[in-house]
Amino acid sequence: MTRKQTALYVARLGLTLFLITALVAAALAAVNHITAPRIAAEKERKTQEAIEKVLPGGGKLVEPGRYDNQDGLVANVYESDTGYAVEVTPSGFDGAITMMVGVSRDGKVLGISIISHTETAGLGAVAASDTPDGESFRNQFKGLSGELTVKKDGGTVDQLSGATITSRGVTRGVTAALKCVAGMG
Amino acid sequence: MNFKKQFTEGLLTKNPVTVQLLGMCSTLAITTSLFNGLGMGISVTLILICSNVLISALRKVIPSQIRIAAYIVIIAGFVTIVDLLLQAFLPELSESLGVFIPLIVVNCIILGRAEAFASKNGVLASAVDGLCQGIGYTVALVVMSVLRELLGSGTFGGGLLGGGLGYVVIPDPYPAMKIVMPVGGFLTLGVVIAFSQWLVARIEKKNKKKEAAKV
Amino acid sequence: MTYVQSLLGILISALLTENFILVKFYGICPFMGVSKKIDTALGMGMAVTFVMAIASAACWAVYHLILVKLSLEYMKTVAFILVIAAIVQVVEMFLKKAVPALYKALGIYLPLITTNCAVLGAALVNVQMGYDFFQSVFFGFCGGLGFTLAIVLFASVRERVEKAECPACFKGFPITLISAGLLALAFMGFSGLKLF
């Protein structure tokens, strides 16, 4: 093959690969165009549902400047007449747990709801599940205030069996939410 | 084209999981409930059929030097499409499968079939191959999921039946939780493959006997 | 939590508590495929560690400097796998020219790494966890070390298992998987190990 032929051949290889990539990119852009609004809406719906669960009636988003995010765990704060819903993202056993914590105006937990997590099925995942164990784990936080820790660390919160790290993460998230609300005065 | 042969190959004698030992990562990681296993199986089957068809259709256009790169781009494209669709329409599944959906890109089953079958055969045969291999993969995943869920969580059909919690088969303190954990993945797959080896050996023995009888 | 603490946390989790192979199930194919002998396992582990650190850096740059700027985040899977495939090629060519000794040691394992899901997995986890540039590279590197640890340990187990007797239907792969399960069980002992 002469040099010119080789160059042409390489150019053909490059062009083919480029065309395929362009085709794939175009297809993806089209699919994304359809799915993006739905994914955003789905996320928004889940967040609203979680707020509604811990702060009946829902709330309005609070500007980030109004609260102090000491541990870096607070993602968003929503406010209503009765209290606040604080979205926190503590780390669990396996990645971050995104959860909503309802806090009353006098600084007590109204309830918690876990939005998303990647904990181990059957162990850490129980914290977010609708099983009796999961419900009682989440409900025990109601009415608590101050610095919370699990029993294993000398605190008051019952950890889930086999999932101390998850329980610790959730407890740390609740504490961060309480601190955040307390700081807002 | 021999549909029946392709089907038995995909399901048993050349099952992608138990015989070809492809795509182990997802097989081990996500088979913790029926919902996960079925969801992953169907997603992979869809991607496998689509990529097989497209690669087979383009097999004469793609120069062989860049074929692997081209295959990977095509596969990644389909995987992302399925990923986006799941996020939009089946968010629960997308959440519980997590990073293993994008990781289907490097699932050797798909690249393996592209290289071994789709690049050499016609569009229809490739589609059938994708379907059969996909079914074989799904069946293996479902078997693993059902076993692990039953032994590990004591339920059947988690995430799908009985209002999302599944039907309780073994009551609370008895399930061996370790089975849904990584350890259980390795052990269960080991036993499932052992069983399929036993089954394949038995079938071969029978066939030999038949042939011997004929002679 | 200070920055150094976060790095130490990454080290412990990538190496032990969330070991890429035995806990997260990334990279099972090479784990099973190239773990018959300790020295080949070590070679593979080193190659993976090397590529994973570079790939984490490159994917971080591609994601944060290109995809996010153009709001094309949904293209990350396609972009990452192309980046990884390109890196593997470049690393292979570079080593061949520059460090022939290392190339000789790692050469045959390099092409296999493109389809090693640990590499793509690390890049995707970096995005998911929101690691910054240095954390990403460090995570890739430690993940690779964890991979090496698991594969070398497993290879030494396997060298002995090969010689042991077992029921016919368990011969070959099944018994290998069962041994891997027992190794994973041992690694479960690390779960809960957290410095901070």
pLDDT in tens, B105-150: 888 788 888 888 899 999 999 999 999 999 999 999 999 999 988 8
Per-residue tokens: B23: 């795509």
pLDDT level of residue B165 (50, 70, 90 thresholds)? low
- Residues of chain B with pLDDT > 70, as a percent, come to 93
Res. A153 pLDDT band, cuts 50 70 90: confident
Using an 8 Å CB-CB cutoff, list chain B residues near C78.
73, 76-77, 80
Percentage, residues of chain B above pLDDT 90: 27
- pLDDT value at residue B131: 93
Task: Provide mean pLDDT across the span B49-58.
Answer: 94
Average pLDDT over residues A155-163: 82
Nearest to B193 among C124, C125, C173 (CB): C173
| A164 CB within 8 Å of a chain C CB | yes
CB pairs under 8 A between B and C: 120
Q: Is C26's CB within 8 Å of B24's CB? A: no
Per DSSP, B169 falls in state S
What pTM value is reported for the model? 0.83
Distances C39 to B2, B53, B178, C118, C152 between C-alpha atoms, Å: 44, 41, 32, 20, 8
- pLDDT tens-digit map of B78-112: 999 999 999 898 888 888 888 888 888 888 788 88
**C-alpha B132, offset from chain centre:** 10
Q: What is the pLDDT of residues C5-62, one digit of tens each?
A: 778 888 888 888 888 888 888 888 778 877 888 888 888 888 889 899 999 999 999 9
pLDDT at B5 over 70: yes
Rounded to the nearest integer, the mean pLDDT of chain A is: 84
Contact of A17 with chain C, judged by CB distance below 8 Å, is answered with no
Instruction: Give, for A86, the enclosing helix (H) or strand (E).
Output: strand A83-88
Question: What is the average pLDDT across A43-68?
Answer: 82
Q: Do B190 and C85 touch (CB under 8 A)?
A: no
Residue B134 has which token pair?
A: 């996909």
* pLDDT for C196 beyond 60: no
C53-111 per-position pLDDT tens digit: 999 999 999 999 999 888 888 888 899 988 998 888 888 888 888 888 778 776 667 77
**Are residues B179 and B192 in contact, defined by beta-carbon separation less than 8 angstroms?**
no
**DSSP code for A85:** E
Highest mean pLDDT among B71-75, B89-93, B175-179: B71-75
Please report the pLDDT score of residue A63 as a whole number.
78
What residues of chain B lie within 8 A of the CB of A116, using their CB?
95
Answer whether B112 touches C (CB < 8 Å): no
Work out the number of other CB atoms within 10 angstroms of the CB of residue B122.
13
Over residues B174-178, mean pLDDT = 71
Which of C28, A18, A15 lies closest to B30 in space, CA to CA?
A: C28
Is C146 a residue whose pLDDT tops 90?
A: yes
Question: Does the pLDDT at position C1 exceed 60?
Answer: no
Torsional sign, CA B113, B117, B121, B126: negative
Is the ipTM, as predicted for this complex, more than 0.85? no
pLDDT computed for residue B160 by the predictor: 65
In the prediction, which pLDDT does B1 show? 54
Could you tell me which chain A residue has the CA closest to the CA of B155? A122
Per the CB < 8 Å rule, is C74 touching A165?
A: no
Residue of C nearest to B80 (CA): C77
Q: Is the pLDDT of residue A81 over 90?
A: no
Which chains, if any, share at least 3 CB pairs under 8 A with chain A?
B, C
A51: distance to nearest CA of chain B, Å? 19
Cβ within 8 Å, pair B76-C125: no
pLDDT recorded at residue B80? 93
Q: Would an 8 Å CB–CB cutoff place B167 in contact with chain C?
A: no
More confident residue, B199 or C191: B199
Interval B18-42: pLDDT, tens: 877 777 878 888 888 888 899 999 9
Q: Provide long-range contacts, Cβ within 8 A and 24+ apart, for C32-36.
A: C32/B21, C32/B24, C32/C173, C32/C176, C32/C177, C32/C180, C33/C112, C34/C109, C34/C112, C34/C151, C35/C151, C35/C154, C35/C155, C35/C158, C36/C155, C36/C158, C36/C159, C36/C162
Put simply, whether C66 touches A (Cβ < 8 Å) is no
Q: How confident is the prediction for chain B on average, in pLDDT?
A: 84
- pLDDT category at B161 given cuts 50, 70, 90 is low
CA A4 to chain C, closest CA, distance in angstroms equals 24
Whether chain C has a CB inside 8 Å of the CB on B22: the answer is: yes
> In the prediction, which pLDDT does B45 show?
94
CA torsion, ordered C101, C105, C109, C114, to nearest 10 deg: -40
Please indicate whether, in this complex, the C-beta atoms of C181 and B183 are within 8 angstroms of each other: yes
Q: Would you say residue A13 has pLDDT above 60? A: yes
Cα gap B13→B27, rounded to integer Å? 18
Does residue A66 register a pLDDT over 80?
Answer: no
Among the partner-chain residues C74, C78, C129, the one whose CB lies closest to the CB of A95 is C129
pLDDT tens for A118-130 read: 777 667 778 888 7
- Phi and psi at residue B7, in whole multiples of 5°? -70, -50
The 3-class SS string of C97-162 reads HHCHHHHHHHHHHHHHHCCCHHHHHHHHHHHHHCCCHHHHHHHHHHHHHHHHHHHHHHHHHHHHHC
Q: Which residues of B touch C178 (CB under 8 A)?
A: 186-187, 190-191
